[in-house]
Amino acid sequence: MTTRKKKTASQRPSHFVGIGASAGGLEAIEAFFKNMPPRSNLAFIVVQHLSPDYKSLMVELLSKKTEMPVHRAEDGMEVLADNVYLIPPKKNLTIFHGKLVLNDKGSTQGINLPIDIFLRSLAEDQAERTIAIILSGTGSDGTRGVRAIKELGGMVMVQSEESAKFDGMPRAAISTGVADYVLPPEKMPEQLLAYVAHPYVSGERQSDLLLQDADALTRLFAELRDKTRVDFTHYKPSTITRRIERRMSVNQIGDFENYVEYLQRYPGEVQALYRDLLIGVTSFFRDPEAMQELEEKWLTGLLRRISDREIRFWVAGCSTGEEAYTLAIMAKEAMERHGLSRVIKVFATDIDRDAIMTASSGVYPESIAGDLTPKIVAKYFYHKEEKLQIARHLREMVVFAQHNLIKDPPFTNIDLISCRNLLIYLQPVLQQKVFDMFNFSLNPDGLLFLGSSESIGEMGDCFEALHQKHKIYRSLGKARSMHYDIQVRSREERRRPAPGFDVRGRDRRQAESDAGRIIRQYLQVAGEHYLPPSVIVNERLEIVHFFGDMQGYFRIPAGPAEYNITRMASGEMAIPLATGIQKVFRTGETLSYTNIRLRQNDEERAIRIRIWPMPEARGYEPLAAVFFEQMDRPPVALFDEGVSFNAGEEASQRIRDLEQELQFARENLQATIEELETSNEELQATNEELLASNEELQSTNEELQSTNEELYTV
């Protein structure tokens, strides 16, 4: 059925607005459209929870509140601007190429979530031209849909909880953290029109303009790194600019320079942009065909092959944990089906601390049941208030941790790595680094599971494709070195466009990659034939890299594996290395020790140690280079001769330093003890006051009891 106030010209809408509502939603929908102008070049699709047993009068009721034509959706109906479309009863609604598609509700599919179904299809069909609005209702329908809208560049509005007749759906949508605006329905139209009128949203201004302001981009990246400890410089420009434009549109800021200033003034906006940049949509058993292929053909084989040790999975970029729990469920089901018993540990990591906290709790909205079979829900979940929680035996299989895939060390001895739809946001230089880490982490014949739009790039010599369509690969067990250069840029260079945002980025990145390869090859040759044995260490005295043959200079100590240079050093080198490296980091000046005695192959010989601070790069920890030279060789001209090492003097100096540190620690400990004693006295006094109050109350109680008895006698 269709009611029309007046004829409208057929035109394609600038944006598609999906509105989800349930109980109490009629009032909110009427309030929204009562304040929405009839000419906005937007199309509105309303998805309500309707009773299948009664005829819906929504078309007639809503037509009285708006001048826009109101339609009951029909299969194949084209969505036009300045029109309203309503879902009919007993149907699920999706959209494909701008046309509505109706499907019958399945009677055996369990919980039905029409709002999620429509919003997810809308996100896939229209991407950044989508707007999701969640109004009053019970339950959590729409929660997954708004995340899909946000991931693909759309905007999300949610009715404020206090204005909603039933706040279940708004509260669930707000809890996802993706809502751009939380408003009462009558105030939404004004904000909606302001958003779509923004130059970046309407298309009046091109995205490339952001890339041309290199100085503002540098300041924005620096602010993000300072507040979040994450460097987004080498993320894909298209992703970065799209997210920045969205935040500028939400805040109604038209100039990029002004937005950077706004970002610097308001730390909350830094966190909002950070969340937008990290937004990741995940779900249980996402991409079912790929999951089925992995479980039936490759995961089962892995479980059969490994029986004498713990099997280790790593889910990199796990977001809120759905994929990690999915792998755990798949492993459980495969073991049960084939009568196997294995110890499995799933390591799930993400850079987003809030996402990790959500994942660790294992609590999800009831709407996740739409992605699961009733059997899986009954077996691995239990109801907790209005939500579903992962069963304890499954949670114990998964270990969640905050982890920066680019900077932090990788996990080791891994049998399966799942990293899906994360690499597409990184530039090739970071993708290569991640693949090198995965190659290092995986055991031979270990499995690598990527997203449908990702590939292994230039790592074909390390991985064998098992299923090209579903991106399942096997590690060939080939070792590759992981070298990454730290480049120091001058002030003038910093003012140039950031490397990842050069319009000739691909050629430039290729040149940088070739240059890095040449430098690594050169260092390998120089280290073997000319340079003395050397190491690079950090301020914690940890060895970061070895160059040349270190035999005789270092040994592997017993106990847990560690790279502390003082523990690994042979002979008398521990003391000069510890004191020298600390002095170099403290003063920033080079240092040289000579005449250090070292026994090698039953022969004692003298060596020279050179310690040189390396050029610092902003955002990276300070490093120092340590060179070891035999005294019978002429010294390298870059250094002076150095001071002769006297073990007694250096040991005495080391002892004095340690005594000073010990004295400082004792003073701190004494101060802490005094504070604890003071706190203990205060607690004792408080306890005595409570005891006195208790006695008074007891006395009062006795008096009341006596009075009560007297009254009873009277």
**Which of the residues are catalytic?**
22, 49, 141
Strand order across the 42-48 sheet: 2-3, 70-72, 83-86, 42-48, 15-21, 130-134, 155-159, 181-183
Is the separation of the CB atoms in 400 and 348 below 8 Å?
A: yes
For residue 390, the one-letter residue type is I
How far apart are the C-alpha atoms of 63 and 58, rounded to whole Å? Answer: 8
Question: Other CB atoms closer than 10 Å to residue 283's CB: what's the count?
Answer: 22
Q: Which residues of 434-460 are buried (b: 16+ CB within 10 A; e: fewer)?
A: bbbbbbbbbbeebbbbbbeebbbeebe
Is the separation of the CB atoms in 411 and 347 below 8 Å?
A: yes
3-state secondary structure of 518: helix
Q: What phi-psi label fits residue 447: left (phi over 0), alpha (psi between -120 and 50 degrees) or beta?
A: beta
Give a three-class secondary structure readout of 193-230.
HHHHCCHHHHCCCCCHHHHHCHHHHHHHHHHHHHHHCC
Q: Which residues of 72-97 are buried (b: 16+ CB within 10 A; e: fewer)?
A: bbeeebebbbbbbbbbbbebbbbbee
Tokens describing residue 330: 């798949």
Tokens describing residue 106: 């399945």
Cross-strand pairs, 419 = 450
For residue 439, the one-letter residue type is N
* Non-local CB neighbours of 705 within 8 Å, separated by 6+ positions: none
Q: State the greatest distance between any 2 C-alpha atoms of the chain, in Å, as a whole number.
A: 114
Q: Which residues of 158-173 are buried (b: 16+ CB within 10 A; e: fewer)?
A: bbbeebbebbbbbbbb
HSE-up of residue 67 (Cα within 13 Å, Cβ side): 9
* Non-local CB neighbours of 212 within 8 Å, separated by 6+ positions: 497
